[in-house]
Amino acid sequence: MTAEIRCIDEYANETLARAQILYTDLDGTLLGRGGSVLLDAAGAPSAITASAIARLNTAGLPVVMCSGRNQLQLFEIARILGWSGFIAEVGCVIMPERGAEPIYYMGDWPQDALSARETPFEAIKRVGALDVLWETYPGLIEHHTPYDGHREATYVLRGNVDIELARSALASLELPVELIDNGIIHPTRTTLRDVNEVHAYHLLPAGVSKAKAVAYDLERRGIPREHALSIGDSVTDIAMAASVGLGVLVANALDDPKVSEALVSPPGEIAATHGARGEGWAELAAAWLAARETASH
């Protein structure tokens, strides 16, 4: 455990006992190797995380997924895990519960930014954001197939571009649109030209983030910030700590140099687990339940 943050089992029970809701990342956090809830961090079969999910569900504690995945993907995951509401597409799409109408969180866009029945996804294309990227970086950026389908608010792209120059090129558009680098990926095939290191990108309304979407969702639910938890494994997940009472990192997050840099000046209270991925997630669930049990006596 690094000196910058304490382990979850060293945290005051009061912090966990008052928590009413948990916002969770998926890949690298809840899910084990291969994106499975039934595999541990090393890829071996394990029911530890599934058992922790069942225990939280039994206690009636809501868990809200907060992911870059689209609504259809999260709908199915929520159904399988017995959860309801979720936040999709890096904070742009908030689902109060499965089957409800989506709430589009549009960050810095004005309230009248969308035309009748238009989605943010369609608006991004309408103002020419994709054309700007294709023209500025021919052969260096493309759609991240097959993960770019069925989206309502963001585009998932891949390639290798100068992120600051790309943002400058997008600055002249009618609506503010931002390109975010989600790190190195290893796709099996691309149509990119002379790109050795491939990055994944999100193209989305400026001002949108997981942290801001969590804050918006808590306000909508009438839950105070201090009564919420978050857990993740990345820099964007650290940012969620600004919107909750306690942000938790699974142990594997501490292997990322960018995470270590972000922890120099964290936006809120941060703790970490001993376990990696799903084992760490289960560790937080156990601590949360234990704190509530202690407080009830």
According to DSSP, the residues that pair with 277 across neighbouring strands are none
CATH classification of 6-105+209-295 is 2.60.40.1580, yes or no? no
**Each residue's pLDDT tens digit, 57-71:** 999 999 999 998 999
Say which residues have a Cβ less than 8 Å from residue 7's Cβ, sequence separation at least 6: 1, 271, 272, 273, 274
Question: Where are any strands of DSSP class E within the chain?
Answer: 6-7, 21-24, 63-66, 86-88, 93-95, 103-104, 141-143, 155-159, 177-185, 198-205, 228-232, 246-249, 270-272
Query: Could you tell me which of 137, 222, 127 has the C-alpha nearest to residue 171?
Result: 127
**Each residue's pLDDT tens digit, 215-270:** 999 999 999 999 999 999 988 899 999 999 999 999 999 988 889 898 988 999 99
The reported pTM is: 0.90
**Each residue's pLDDT tens digit, 23-39:** 999 989 999 888 899 99
